[in-house]
Amino acid sequence: MDETSRKVLRTIHGALDRLTRAENLTSEQLTEVFMAATALGYQIARMNYPADRLAHATARESEVTGTAILPPARSRSAAPDWDAMFGARLCAAIEAGAIGDDPATLHRVRNLLVEYHTPMDPVIDAGTHATYAGGRGDARVAHGEAVPVELTPALLEEWLRRNGHDGPRTRVTSLKRLMGGYSKATYIAHIDNAGSEQAIVIRKDSPGLPTGSSVTSEFPVLQEMVEIGVPVPAPLWIEPDPDICSGAFMGVSFAKGTPANQIVPSDPAIRCQWARSTADVLGRLHARTALPGTDVRESIAAEINTLDARMLARERAPHPGLLIGLRWLQRNLDRLAGRPACRIHGDVGYHNMLMEDGRIAALLDWEFSRIGDPVEDLASVKPFMDQIDSWDEFYGAYQAAGGFTVDRRAEAYFTVWQETRNMVACLGSLNSLLLPGVFEVPLTVAGTIYIPKYEIAIFDAIVNAESDDE
């Protein structure tokens, strides 16, 4: 990168950084500017990566793998030059079985990756436990393909009239896209039908971003949740054809409430209400959908194979930690022997809860929902209950609501699972960012900054899981 380009990028980064301290931006604008500044700063550091640091990291990689000739790593279809990058030899050694799972070796590999990523992310050593990421992005797009079709008031209005969901006088008076969303776009639409106005929420698959569970599979899950009394936005209608608006989309009712992550309570009484409400919702979900006699290991094994295949289709740079995470999940499946199976949400946390009067008004974003082990939801929600010092309160109420028993080994397993799954999703976010016409700030963050953070978090989750066995 020449000096002019460096100066331009640093100037823009400085302007964005100043905007994050402005007091006249809306909360959504502030979030977007902060994400943009963070992603740009990371990319500037990446493009200016010190040559001596790279040479040192490459030498360290050879020390860890040894000098033996290794069979080539499996092909990665998204990056023809993948095997020439830092980390490729580590990946080849892991796939060949030349690098084991002993704590000392994993510690060396983790430290090497931290050292490599530190010039781009000085706090990489902390990993991450605070982000949701989705997206697949492994669809192939021909050169010159048309840019994505945006959802507009006119397009939505015409679709509603044509499909008979509202009368011929239906008008879409406003359509606002909400900030965020790694795999789906979310809109709030105000619709006037002969003088009667209502607000609805629209969820739309982003171009090239089906997460393995697009809105076409999320819609029937919402219908099932309504039937068993789990609070969710009521499903209204769905358009499964992705060609109409560059992605399938569905309409759901507007659920009242405030995002839980914006109003985390400090009052002990309200914390107790939150814990009990969360327990009631998850207890009802798990008890009403239980499948006695189902071996949950079969579905998890299939999911691991799917994650592995997606990694091979998405990776644009080597990620030894991801390989180690997938291998650990495969080798430790028997931790789940005899575990119950039911429908799970798959991503329970404050980021997916709307709260009203101390209770969950709606549990959102069911794209990761599937038949699985209920402890996955419990492992997901535990950090949030710990945040309000209410895990014991939650767990007691969950048991009373017909929930299942926590198993520490299974809980630790799904901590590794979540970090691994989210990292694969972030690889998809990067691929999706590179599709024609896609310019999404969240994808720039998920596709760059969070990938190495999740990789380090995988190591830490494995260490914690192994220490529980001692």
In a domain, 466, yes or no: no
* 3-class secondary structure per residue, 50-116: CHHHHHHHHHHHHHHHCCCCCCCCCCCCCCCCHHHCCCHHHHHHHHCCCCCCCHHHHHHHHHHHHHH
pLDDT tens for 254-285 read 999 999 999 999 999 999 999 999 999 999 99
Domain final residue, candidates 199, 232, 253: 253
pLDDT tens for 31-65 read 888 888 889 999 999 999 999 999 999 999 999 99
- Residue 303 Cα distances to 175, 295, 326, 407, 424, angstroms: 36, 14, 10, 21, 12
Q: Using 50, 70 and 90 to split pLDDT, how confident is the model at 210?
A: very low
Report the DSSP beta bridge partners of residue 238. Answer: 250
In a domain, 100, yes or no: no
**Cβ atoms 433, 440 nearer than 8 A:** yes
Say yes or no to pLDDT of 135 above 80: no
Domain final residue, candidates 236, 253, 270: 253
| Residue corresponding to tokens 């709606």 | 362
CATH number at residue 217: 3.30.200.20
In a domain, 194, yes or no: yes
Report the DSSP beta bridge partners of residue 204. Answer: 185, 249
In a domain, 400, yes or no: no
Domain final residue, candidates 253, 280, 311: 253
Tell me the residue range of the domain where 29 lies.
3-47
Say yes or no to pLDDT of 253 above 90: yes
Give the whole-angstrom CA distance, residue 197 versus residue 427.
Answer: 41
In a domain, 207, yes or no: yes
Specify the number of domains making up the chain: 2
Whole-number average pLDDT of the chain: 89
Question: What are the phi and psi torsion angles at 41 (to 5°)?
Answer: -60, -40
Of 347, 319, 361, 320, which is closest to residue 414 (Cα–Cα)? 347
Q: Residue 98, CB half-sphere, CA atoms under 13 Å: how many?
A: 19
| Residue corresponding to tokens 């997916």 | 352
* 3-class secondary structure per residue, 377-436: HHHHHHHHHHHCCCHHHHHHHHHHCCCCCCCHHHHHHHHHHHHHHHHHHHHHHHHHHCCC
In the structure encoding, which two tokens stand for residue 160, read together? 């509603």
pLDDT of the residue at 46: 92
**Helix ranges restricted to H, 118-173:** 153-162
In a domain, 230, yes or no: yes
Best-predicted range by mean pLDDT (16-20, 126-130, 165-169, 201-205): 201-205
- Name the least confident of 98-102, 181-185, 289-293: 181-185
**Cβ atoms 296, 407 nearer than 8 A:** no
In a domain, 445, yes or no: no
Give the whole-angstrom CA distance, residue 327 versus residue 236.
Answer: 41
Of 218, 431, 227, which is closest to residue 316 (Cα–Cα)? 431
pTM beyond 0.95: the answer is no
- Residue 337 Cα distances to 345, 355, 407, 436, angstroms: 21, 36, 11, 45
Q: How many residues does the chain have?
A: 470
* 3-class secondary structure per residue, 191-215: EEECCEEEEEEEEEECCCCCCCCCH
Give the whole-angstrom CA distance, residue 333 versus residue 465.
Answer: 13
In a domain, 426, yes or no: no
Best-predicted range by mean pLDDT (154-158, 161-165, 321-325): 321-325
